[in-house]
């Protein structure tokens, strides 16, 4: 017993000693400090940029530095952990880095930024662990792509089939790796980023996403991707089958405001589409046929365009013969799309006479069958 106590005392002593050394010798960081070291032929004075992505994924400049003898530095205040990117002027690629309080070291080669090492703070260390395995999947996928190109040129059908099967297995393996990472690292920013992507792309059922989200740490839930997950989950409840369709209004092609509640019929199709969306345009003839067949029985349709250009929207309405009500803010995936948690189109919501959502994303014969049931 005495030996065990002595061992425990030694552990406590060395722990306090290590902490004392860190406090006395280490650099005191208020906010974040990125210290970079890039090898390669980089002229002194080369600009280097710190950026983040906006809601549309476009890079926004936050700070600029100059490289001197391969070194650069960024400093600033740190809030909740957030993914940022470092760009070198006149060079392709970027370096992802999680901005958080502490000293962050960046070390790499200008001609292979993908393999730059970023470490020094908890979130960047977790991100580095994730990237190490994730890159192995990317390398294997690139190798398979080269093999597929060769098999295609040689018209090797057996080889092509084998490679497709192998690639499918790789995708499942990568998906499972990401799921395991999220499960095992609820305190990692990258876990929230992965989970947000899975929810947006419909990779996981919402119930499973919700369970994984609830397991995330409070700090990660408070980050931008954490908040985005909660927002999407809340909106999915508001637009789930059995819920009252949220009302909204937007301009018609002639400029008047029109609300969803103004055009509800005995059955209503709320159709999110765009002129640039090929699957939407391919489905339009079927929607026209259903509308012509059931409009006299009480079918109403409200098209919500996610176009960027009004002329494209109006031309598509005319070209496809869409003779029902239409609205659009002409702002791509706008607040109406966000209200209905629409991340991809075509997306349809079928409403009954009370505006209750009774079905989603029906196309082809399934759409007509549901409308027929509602109007019997």
Q: Which of 83, 117, 151 is the last residue of a domain?
A: 117
Q: Are 236 and 204 in contact (CB under 8 A)?
A: no
Q: Do residues 213 and 283 both lie within one domain?
A: no
Residue 350 has pLDDT above 90, yes or no: yes
266 lies in the same domain as 226: no
What CATH number has the domain bearing residue 43? 2.60.40.10
Residue-range definition of the domain harbouring residue 196: 124-238
pTM tops 0.75, yes or no: no
Partner residues linked to 35 by β-bridges: 73, 105
- Placement of tokens 């740490």 in the chain: 217
Residue at a domain's end among 184, 211, 238: 238
pLDDT of 7 above 60? no
- Spell out a b/e string for 332-345, using b for 16 or more CB atoms within 10 Å of the CB, else e: ebbebbeebbbeeb
pLDDT score recorded for residue 367: 96
Share of the chain above pLDDT 90, in %: 74
Domain assignment present for 8: no
Could you report the per-residue pLDDT of 75-114, keeping only the tens digit for each?
999 889 999 999 999 899 999 999 999 999 999 998 889 8
What is the rounded CA–CA span in Å between residue 361 and residue 350?
Answer: 8
Domain count, the chain: 3
- The verdict on 84 and 188 lying in the same domain is no
User: Are the beta carbons of 263 and 299 closer than 8 angstroms?
Assistant: no
- Could you tell me if 65 and 151 lie in one domain? no
Of 117, 152, 186, which residue constitutes the final position of a domain?
Answer: 117
State yes or no: pLDDT of 27 exceeds 80. Answer: no
Those residues with Cβ within 8 angstroms of residue 266's Cβ, 6 or more apart along the chain or in another chain = 297, 298, 299, 352, 353, 374, 375
What confidence tens digit (pLDDT) does each residue in 38-72 have?
998 899 999 999 999 887 778 899 999 999 999 99
CB 313 within 8 A of CB 275: yes
Which helix (H) or strand (E) segment holds residue 95: the answer is: strand 95-99
User: Are 337 and 255 found together in one domain?
Assistant: yes
Position 29 confidence tier, pLDDT thresholds 50, 70, 90? low
Flag whether pLDDT at 9 surpasses 50. no
């Amino acid at each position: 017993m005495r030996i065990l106590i002595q061992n425990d005392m030694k552990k406590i002593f060395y722990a306090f000693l290590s902490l004392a050394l860190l406090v006395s010798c280490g650099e005191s960081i208020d906010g974040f400090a990125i210290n970079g070291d890039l090898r390669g032929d980089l002229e002194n004075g080369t600009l280097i940029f710190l950026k983040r992505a906006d809601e549309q994924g476009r890079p926004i400049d936050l700070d600029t530095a100059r490289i001197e003898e391969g070194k650069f530095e960024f400093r600033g205040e740190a809030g909740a952990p957030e993914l940022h990117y470092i760009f070198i002027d006149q060079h392709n690629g970027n370096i992802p880095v999680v901005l958080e309080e502490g000293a962050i070291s960046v070390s790499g080669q200008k001609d292979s930024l993908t393999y730059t090492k970023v470490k020094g703070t908890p979130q960047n260390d977790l991100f580095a662990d994730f990237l190490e395995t994730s890159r192995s999947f990317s390398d294997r996928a690139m190798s398979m792509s080269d093999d597929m190109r060769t098999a295609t040129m040689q018209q090797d059908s057996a080889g092509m089939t084998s490679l497709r099967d192998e690639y499918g297995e790789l995708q499942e393996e990568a998906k499972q790796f990401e799921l395991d990472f999220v499960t095992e690292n609820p305190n990692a920013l990258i876990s929230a980023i992965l989970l947000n992507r899975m929810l947006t792309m419909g990779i996981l059922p919402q119930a499973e996403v919700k369970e994984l989200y609830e397991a995330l740490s409070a700090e990660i839930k408070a980050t931008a991707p954490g908040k985005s997950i909660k927002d999407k989950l809340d909106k999915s409840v508001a637009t789930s089958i059995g819920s009252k369709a949220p009302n909204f209004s937007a301009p018609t092609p002639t400029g008047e405001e029109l609300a969803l509640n103004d055009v509800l019929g005995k059955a209503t199709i709320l159709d999110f589409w765009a002129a640039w969306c090929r699957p939407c345009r391919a489905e339009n003839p079927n929607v026209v046929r259903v509308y012509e067949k059931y409009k006299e029985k009480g079918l109403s349709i409200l098209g919500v365009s996610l176009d960027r250009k009004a002329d494209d929207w109006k031309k598509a309405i005319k070209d496809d013969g869409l003779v029902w009500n239409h609205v659009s803010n002409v702002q791509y995936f706008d607040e109406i799309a966000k209200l209905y948690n629409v991340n991809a189109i075509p997306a349809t919501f079928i409403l009954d006479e009370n505006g209750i959502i009774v079905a989603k994303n029906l196309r082809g014969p399934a759409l007509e069958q549901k409308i027929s049931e509602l109007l019997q």
